[in-house]
Structure 1
Amino acid sequence: MTEATSATPAPDAVADVLADAPFVRLVATDDGDAVAAAGLIAAALRAVDTPFQVRVARDPVPDAGDDAVALTVGADRGPHAIPGAGRPASTTAFAIARSLGADPDPIVALAGVVAAGSVPGTDGSGDAMAAAESSESIRRRPGVALPTADVADGLAASTLVRTLYSGDPEATSEALAALGLPADLDDDAHRTLASLVAVDVADAEDASDRAASTVERALRPYETVGDASPFETVGGYADVLDALAREAPGTGVALALAADPSDALRTAALDAWRAHGLAAHRALDDATTGRYDGCLVARVDRAGDDLTGGDDAPDALAALPTVARLARDFRSPEPVAVAVDESAGELAAAATEPVGLGDACRSAASEVGADGWGTTDRGGIAVDADDTTGNSATDGDITSALAALREAL
């Protein structure tokens, strides 16, 4: 299915359609911005007593059914969609929710903006920013955008930064211990922390030129005030939502939808985020990389990894898109990064600019009989576990798909 490139729909027009709907089916792409947007609209529908269903899919296909209205979030699919291209889907969703007469949570919207790679207050998020500031629910401060008050815990798993100690809680604690930070961080301590992270990101041996600018979005965060949010910063909230979109989408939707998330929901969200972030960093640590014209390829082998040692181990493949994004943002000198797990027969790709990456993945997948999906700046390919002849998939299948993708790029 080709990704369309139509303009972002007028919020009032979408709100009019939803207001008259007997039932709404929301389907969102598996990223933090789309999950935040779906949560905002779902909360607005709940406020006006319109029944709804929300699901998250890496390649969403709208399904309205007999009487329902389908709304795709994060991709331009079907008659009603919030594409998320050009401006974050969460900014449009915030406006739609207001048009429905609801009072949407501006922090969820701003978290979606950060998850989309944007900056709060820009790309159409001015209204959400104004609402958060007028309610005094956020304040700008020095430091690093983390979801937790425990800096070592937050920094080790954060996917907004990539340092030598990312993915290693013990090494992170040692790096922080050398700073001698107080138990309760004041603004000076936050500045010291930010300086450490900025230097460690930019000075890493294999850091790309892009790393120094990418880390900026994790610095000088918007801190959430009081009980305005279940997480310490807007950027930390964004990091959690992005991880949940792939690791535990049901938890992500529940979090974005909840007006006052319970302690149990917050704990479940942080547990999934932590497992996801650690898995992604460790995969990139162990990756074998190769540079090609136009892309960096990181070959990993995470299928079957068990970070917890128990039955609740995270799905290692869920972290593959995050591995690709981390490689793109902090390691790749090329505009596209591809993370490949050959043993699992799957790859994920991330681009610095909208280049029709999803369509390129679909095209490459079709050449080898695989499945491809994605949006303008990210995508993926998976070979079937068993082909039509009953033979198991081989490394050559995904390797051929990778070769076709490189050719398409």
Structure 2
Amino acid sequence: MSMSPAEQTPAAEDAAMLREATFVRLRVHTSGAAVAAAGVIGRALETLDVPFRIRATEAPDTVANDDVAAVVGLSDADADLELDPRDGVAIVRELGVDPDPVVALAGLHAAGVSPEDDTALVDAATDAGVESRPGVAVPTADLADGLAHSTLVHAPFSADKERTQAALAELSLPAELDVDAHRRVASLVALEATGGEATPRSTTAVERVLHPEATPNGLFATVGGLADVLDATVREVPGLAVALALGHDARDAALDAWRDHANATHAALREATTGRYESLYALSCDLSSPGRLATVARLARDFRSPEPTVLAVGTGAAALVSTGPAGLDDDLAAAATELGDASATGSPEEATMRFDPSVEPKTVVEAVREVRR
């Protein structure tokens, strides 16, 4: 029995528009959560023979009159649909398609959402071979590689594989890791990530890399590792991340992009000049990529910032993140108007901005502080 219009859920309404579309244009926020959601939606549309295109970009698309323009994880008043990445699974089910459980779980992991209440998704993941175990959520079987390049955590070993190998060597791990060995690795990471310069928030943030869901049959070692790769890759090579989310075997190229992203962002965080203001922590670093700056800001927020909101400013670009939805897209859009030829995009939780490279970082910081007062 079909639901009356009054009974339809937002997911059902979104699915109805997508199902009837002549062509769907999905514009995706450059985040792991958004690209994973777009991936499961795209697979469903393919199953239903609905033509679509996915672009992870801040630039609006050219849309024909009969196209459906949807944004995933972005705010865009001109779009036909604004889709929350966390709703991707519900939308796909309303389309009558079972979502890929591993990609769906990776998207929820990237969004910081627990899937425990979704028993159908958990059961489907179990049937696909996903299993919970102690240890760390990395994409590779090589732990040193996985931990050195993880952007789920910032620790003294980050972006330093030799240091990571030395730390792991002290644990005298067996060739085949058992439960005890996985637990010892997790304890090492937890201690390293929450000591020294780490802030109290790090004790919660480090949980993202612990208690992994292993994927023995997948391209990557864990669900959290896939989430990390999607998040890094969509900020480095967007088309590659889209291909990965749609199920194409882009493993090697994606891992290369993930390593490059990790090396650049961890180094930038360590070398950044910082400033603390009321409810805002600002970093100035030598980066020009909005995506890399967004990762720097997130890592600073989770492991280094004493304030809830972090602004990372580079050359011609900036990123703003916070501990919760805070209207950040509106804040950066307002700040952009104060900086002349500047533009901003994003969501209430994470936003980025481009501006003239000649603009000094302190000018950007002042513009953001002004609109947040």
- Report the TM-score range of the alignment, normalised by the length of the smaller protein: over 0.9
Q: Which runs of at least 4 in structure 1 moved beyond 6 Å after TM superposition?
A: none
Counterpart in 2 of 1:166?
Answer: 158
**Aligned partner letter, 2:276:** R
Distance (Å, rounded) in 2 between the aligned partners of 1:351 and 1:53? 30
User: What residue number does 2:33 align with?
Assistant: 33
Equivalent residue number for residue 207 of structure 1: 198
Match of 1:389 in 2: none
Structure 1 residue 136: deviation in Å? 4.7
- The structure-2 alpha-carbon separation of the partners of 1:61 and 1:69, relative to structure 1 and needing over 3 Å to count, comes to same
| Equivalent residue, structure 2, for 1:10 | 10
Distance 1:63 1:96, change over 3 A: farther
Q: 1:186 aligns with which of 172, 178, 188?
A: 178
For 2:103, the aligned partner's letter is: V
Q: Is the 8 A contact 2:313 2:364 kept in 1?
A: no
Give me the whole-angstrom Cα distance separating, in 2, the residues matched to 1:245 and 1:223. Answer: 22
For 2:5, the equivalent position in structure 1 comes to none
Q: Which amino acid aligns with 1:115?
A: A
2:66 aligns to what SS in structure 1? coil
Report what 2:80 is aligned to. Answer: 80
Amino acid at match of 1:101: G
Any conservation in 2 of the 1:324–1:349 contact (CA below 8 Å)? yes
Instruction: Provide the alpha-carbon RMSD of the alignment.
Output: 1.8
Please say if 1:324 is aligned against 2:313.
no
Deviation at 1:67, TM superposition (A): 2.2
Aligned to 2:48: 48
What's the CA shift for 1:94? Answer: 1.7
Displacement of 1:63 in angstroms is 4.4
Question: Paired residue for 2:227, among 238, 241, 251?
Answer: 238
Query: Does structure 2 retain, via aligned residues, the 8 Å contact 1:340–1:346?
Result: yes
- The 1-side partners of 2:370 and 2:122 are apart by 42
1:196 corresponds to: 188
Distance 2:302 2:119 in 1: 26
TM-score by length of 2: 0.92
Q: For 2:155 and 2:364, how far apart are their aligned partners in 1?
A: 31
The correspondence for 2:316, drawn from 328, 340, 345, is: 345
What's 1:401 paired with? 364
Alignment-derived partner of residue 97 in structure 2: 102
Contact 2:75–2:346 under 8 Å retained in 1: no
Which residue in the other structure is 2:4 paired with? none
Q: Distance in 1 between matches of 2:345 and 2:45?
A: 29
Equivalence for 1:311: none
Equivalent in 332, 335, 354 of residue 308 of structure 2: 335
Percent identity over the alignment is 46
CA distance change for structure 1 residues 361 and 353 in 2, over 3 Å: closer, same or farther?
same
Q: What secondary structure is seen at the aligned counterpart in 2 of 1:53?
A: strand
Aligned residues of 2:159 and 2:266 also touching (Cα < 8 A): yes
Deviations 1:300-328 (A, max 9, x none): 1135xxxxxxxxxxxx5541110000000
> Which residue matches 1:366?
337
Shift of 1:53: 0.9
Q: 1:81 to 1:126 in 2, by over 3 A?
A: farther
Partner amino acid, structure 2, of 1:67 = D
Answer whether contact 2:290 2:319 (CA < 8 A) is retained.
no
Hey, what does 1:148 align to over in structure 2? 140
1:366–1:372: 8 Å Cα contact kept in structure 2?
A: no
The range that moved more, 316-325 or 155-164, is: 316-325
Q: Partners of 2:239 and 2:128 in 1: how far apart?
A: 30
Q: Which moved more, 1:215-224 or 1:151-160?
A: 215-224
- CA separation in 1, counterparts of 2:320 and 2:9? 27
Mapped to 2, the partners of 1:288 and 1:143 lie a distance apart of 34
**SS of residue in 2 equivalent to 1:354:** coil
In structure 2, the residue matched to 1:250 is: 239
Give the drift of 1:186: 1.2
Residue 65 of structure 2 aligns to a residue in which SS?
A: coil
Residue type of the alignment partner of 1:183: A
Name the SS for the 1:207 alignment partner: coil
Deviations 1:88-146 (A, max 9, x none): x1x42222222223232011111001111222325xx544223213x152111000100
Following superposition, the deviation at residue 82 of structure 1 comes to 4.2
Three-state SS of the structure 2 residue aligned to 1:104 is coil
Q: CA deviation at 1:9?
A: 6.2
Letter in 2 for 1:15: A
Instruction: Write the distance in 1 (CA, Å) between the matches of 2:54 and 2:142.
Output: 32
Partner of 1:67: 66
5+ residue gaps, structure 2, are 1-7
Query: 1:381·1:401 contact (CA, 8 Å) conserved in 2?
Result: no
Paired residues of 2:32 and 2:107 also in contact (CA < 8 A) = yes
- Aligned counterpart, 2:259: 274
SS in 1 for 2:96: coil
Indicate the residue corresponding to 1:377 in structure 2: 349
CA distance in 2, matches of 1:401, 1:32: 27
Q: In structure 1, the residue corresponding to 2:174 is in which secondary structure?
A: coil
Do the aligned partners of 2:321 and 2:351 also contact (CA within 8 Å) in 1? yes
